[in-house]
Amino acid sequence: MAYTAIESMRRENEKRFGADLGPMQPPLYQSEQNPNDLKSAALRFLHERCEGLLFSAQIQAEEQSTGKYRGKSLAPGQIPYNMEMDLNRLCLEKALETFIDSGVAEDAYTVYYCYLEMFLGRYGRSKRMVELLSEYEANGSSLLMKHRDHYSHSVYVFALGLAIYETNADYRETFRRFYRLPAGEERSQEACEAANLFLEYWGLTALFHDIGYPFELPFEQLMSYFEVDNQERGKGSLYLAYHDVEPLTALDEIGKVHLETLYGQHFETVVELLARDIADKLGEAYGFSETYLRSVIDWKPVAPDRFGYYMDHAFFSASRLYQELVEELGAENLNRMHVDALSAILLHNSLFKFSIAFYKDAEKRKAPLRAALHPLAWLLMLCDELQCWDRIAYGRNSRTELHPMAADFDFSGGKLTAIYYYDQEEREKIRKFQVQYRAWEEGGEEGDPPRLKAFSDMAEKEQRFTADIEKIVDTRSCPLHIEPGIRQADRRSKHIYLSGSNFLHLYDFAVALHGRNMPAETTVKALEEKFAGLSLEYQLSGINRAKSFSRYLNALDCFYTDRPVDFPMVTAFTPEQMAVIAPMEHERWVREHQAMGWRCGSAYSVLPLAEDTPEARTALREQLRCHALAMDGELSAEDIHAHYLTLSEEDLGKDWKPFTSMLQLLKKYDGLRIYHL
């Protein structure tokens, strides 16, 4: 019984109306070929391990005593609060499923959106933290010599961690012991509470571990200016450094008092706090002091020459996330697990590798990190290294290098087996490398072996890819077996169209579309408040509608862009064009509702109600989760189109009218215009 509040609503409806009317349990995705692949394991974790996520026994008791629901659906007060929490979890499950299928940034965006809405409050208040990373990567990374995507990468890292927790009993037990959680049988309440705790703080760690990249990118841009001529970075390099970082690292007075209560020590900065946290966990095992670590971290932003002329984005990620947590949750509400997430982020890039474990120095090298010392840091470093597939290459050299385009994982038995696939179109490069490598072996293995970026690290007998990971983290509890493969690239799932802009305007589009009938003088703040009155499910539906616009334009041989181009501009849609868009939007709506567990039905319009009002009928529809326009069963595009042709004029308008508004909205945001090919 994965979604217990949904099931409780079903039983309540059966008792109320004398028939099993729903809502029904949503189905769980499960691969027939491998039930322990990445997608199956990560989704199973969300579906089955996270029962009771964010439930409130107090609110449930108040609902039972007052007879009034506190949960939001299409409007506040329509469903039980815990049922809303179940539906929010289902939103996250479906968003992650969509992302794993596509890997595109637009689908990564909805995973971020779900997490922020569920655990940090409102997306609208935190969106700049997420948007900066995407904007900088999309617009500035082409100036770098080497750089690959970190936005979708972070969601893949998140999914990997969920899959490992789901399939690896050793890690689950390590996490439970570290945080002194009560023991319980599999799927017990105690096990669910541990999984829910893991989801919240692993999500914080994984999804935001790279948000400091906007600070590293300008540094790398300057270095690339000189590296164009193959000049090695080092003494004599001109480099950028950051000073006066106190606004990013300073603790406010409330934070100082609260953290002193937690740790029994006074802190002035985030650096001091995290140095204490890391020293407590790793100091004894690795032989360093809090003073040493504080000094190392203090030098990170101001003296990159001390660190091989590299800037550590992890310093900025941890500091920036701390300030965001204070803004959203309040300094007085932070706990040790929040600090653990921050210290895991600070450790993940270079601090642990080069200033604690010295993993590339044969003489100074220390033991790889054990999960028992810092479970979140261990998992982040493991997953961060594993996630090297399906990443957009932005840098000049990165675009021409050979990187894995896809990967198949098997997490069975607590082990991790992975095949990283390379594009068959690159087979000539691969064959050339294989010939050179065999010649190197037959020649007595003199000198350095030939290299072909990631492929050689996985294909050669030295197994550099696996060996490097095993120098960083102790994998005895999660043995790795990694090999390369070659297959034809399949880019159909990417759904890449000509329309291009900052996709993060999706939130703005969705907010404006929802409030399109409000007076023209309505403020943006008022529009956002109206949008926030929707449940997460309905907010995502609006975002997905806006996200589909580029696909609909593609079907019309149109596109939008903020660049001046020599194509005819579209200022209005013709009836013929709307006749193309409307059925596509109806199909999106039908499939979205089916994925979220809605069924076809109209019982909400005829069942007896004590107070028979339109509002009560709508609330009953949300409680039953059935809709007269929904569809059941295996559906083809032809089935849905035939259904579309039966709609009334009023219902037809719901599919096309919002997109007439998009023409004006696109002009408002970033000066976008629609053109016809």
Residue 147 has pLDDT above 50, yes or no: no
Question: Residue by residue, what is the 3-state secondary structure of 339-371?
Answer: HHHHHHHHHHHHHHHHHCCCCCCCCCCCCCECC
Helix, strand, or coil (residue 386): helix
Q: Is pLDDT larger for residue 56 or for residue 496?
A: 56
631 in the same domain as 558 = yes
474 and 576 co-located in one domain: no
Task: List helix spans (H) across 67-122.
Answer: 81-102, 105-119
Do 558 and 578 contact (CB within 8 A), yes or no?
no
Q: 446 falls in which pLDDT band (50, 70, 90)?
A: confident
At 184, is the pLDDT very low, low, confident or very high (cuts 50, 70, 90)?
A: confident
Residue 363 lies in a domain: yes
Whether 94 shows a pLDDT value over 50: the answer reads yes
Tell whether the model's pLDDT for residue 132 goes beyond 80: no
pLDDT at 671 over 80: no
How do residues 32-64 score in pLDDT, each as one tens digit? 889 999 999 999 999 999 999 999 999 999 999
| Candidate from 109-118, 400-409, 612-621, 646-655 with smallest mean pLDDT | 400-409
Q: Where are the alpha helices (DSSP H) in 523-571?
A: 524-532, 536-547, 549-555
Q: What is the mean pLDDT of residues 424-442?
A: 86
Among 108-122, 290-304, 630-644, name the one with the lowest average pLDDT.
Answer: 108-122
* 337 shares its domain with 480: no
- 300 falls within a domain: yes
CB of 349 closer than 8 Å to CB of 385: no
pLDDT at 320 over 80: yes
Three-class SS state of 71: strand
In this structure, the answer to whether residues 480 and 547 fall within a common structural domain is no
Q: Is residue 316 part of a domain?
A: yes
Average pLDDT, the chain: 89
Last residue of a domain, one of 457, 491, 525: 491
In terms of domains, do 253 and 291 share one?
yes
> Residue 495: is its pLDDT beyond 70?
no
Is 78 within the bounds of a domain?
no
Q: Indicate the helix (H) or strand (E) that contains 252.
A: none
> 538-551, pLDDT tens digit by residue?
999 999 998 888 88
CA angle 361, 362, 365 (to 5 degrees): 70
Tokens for 217, please give them: 């990118």
Same domain, 368 and 422: no
390 versus 212: the higher-pLDDT residue is 212
* Widest Cα–Cα separation across the chain: 89
Q: Does the structure show a pLDDT above 80 at 472?
A: yes
pLDDT score recorded for residue 519 = 82
d(CA 137, CA 589): 32
Banded pLDDT at 397 (limits 50, 70, 90): very low
Residue 34 lies in a domain: no
Indicate the DSSP class of residue 543. H
Specify if 280 maps to a domain. Answer: yes
Answer whether residue 138 shows pLDDT above 60. Answer: no
Domain final residue, candidates 359, 387, 415? 387
Domain hosting 539: range is: 497-677
The predicted-structure confidence for 344-362, as pLDDT tens digits, reads as follows 999 999 999 999 999 999 9
Mean pLDDT of 272-292: 97
- In this structure, the answer to whether residues 525 and 483 fall within a common structural domain is no
Over residues 314-332, mean pLDDT: 93
pLDDT band at 227 (very low <50, low <70, confident <90, very high): low
Shared-domain flag, residues 292 and 168: yes
pLDDT value for 399: 45
Contact 117, 539 (CB under 8 A): yes
Mean pLDDT of 152-157: 93
How large is the average pLDDT for residues 218-222? 81
- How high is the pLDDT of residue 232? 77
Residues 484 and 501 in one domain: no
Give how far Cα 468 sits from Cα of 369, 385, 401, 461, 581, Å.
12, 9, 20, 13, 50
- Of residues 229 and 452, more confidence is placed in 452
Same domain, 573 and 463: no
**Closest CA relative to residue 340, chosen from 210, 198, 519, 195:** 198
Looking at residues 236-242, what average pLDDT do you find?
A: 86
Domain stop point among 469, 491, 513: 491
In a domain, 475, yes or no: yes
Binned at pLDDT 50, 70 and 90, residue 491 comes out as low
508 within domain boundaries: yes
657 or 198, greater pLDDT: 198
Residue 482 shares a structural domain with residue 614: no
CA angle 47, 181, 88 (to 5 degrees): 30
Number of domains composing the chain? 3
Q: Are residues 673 and 580 in the same domain?
A: yes
Cis, peptide link before residue 23, omega less than 30° from 0: yes
Distances (CA, A) of 232 to 216, 235, 313, 398, 542: 18, 9, 21, 17, 49
Q: What's the CA gap between 320 and 110, in Å, rounded?
A: 21
Tell me the sheet residues that pair with 560: 674
Mean pLDDT of 636-648: 94
| Higher local confidence (pLDDT), 170 or 672 | 170
Which band of pLDDT confidence, cut at 50, 70 and 90, is reported for residue 481?
very high
